[in-house]
Amino acid sequence: MIFIAEQWAMLGLLAAPAGAAQRLTARPYRALALSAGLAVAEMWTGLGLGYAVPKVPPSFGTLATATVVYAATYVRVPQRRRTGRAAL
């Protein structure tokens, strides 16, 4: 049963930072770097939360942090500039 929970944690840590980065920037390489930075920050925050509050599993802290960051991108998303080219 623990193995299944670890798989969900890995899926969440893979998808949430990438989704947040995609919502924050339209440039692929910038989104890649931002996603990696968000994943590292969310992992350390989750581990710190698990250390500070012993009843909280580190995987829950990590995914909770990732969820909060992703949800925060819906609060205010910067407006993307239009390039003037017609969309195909």
> What pLDDT, on the 0 to 100 scale, is given for residue 79?
66
Per-residue DSSP letter, 53: S
> What pLDDT, on the 0 to 100 scale, is given for residue 81?
63
Per-residue model confidence as pLDDT tens digits over 23-74: 999 899 999 999 999 999 999 999 999 999 999 888 889 999 999 999 999 8
- Rounded CA-CA distance 23/71 in Å is 11
> What pLDDT, on the 0 to 100 scale, is given for residue 42?
92
Of residues 72 and 7, the one with the higher pLDDT is 72
Cα–Cα distances in Å, from 37 out to 18, 41, 81?
A: 10, 6, 24
Residue 2 above 90 pLDDT? no
Q: What is the pTM of this model?
A: 0.76
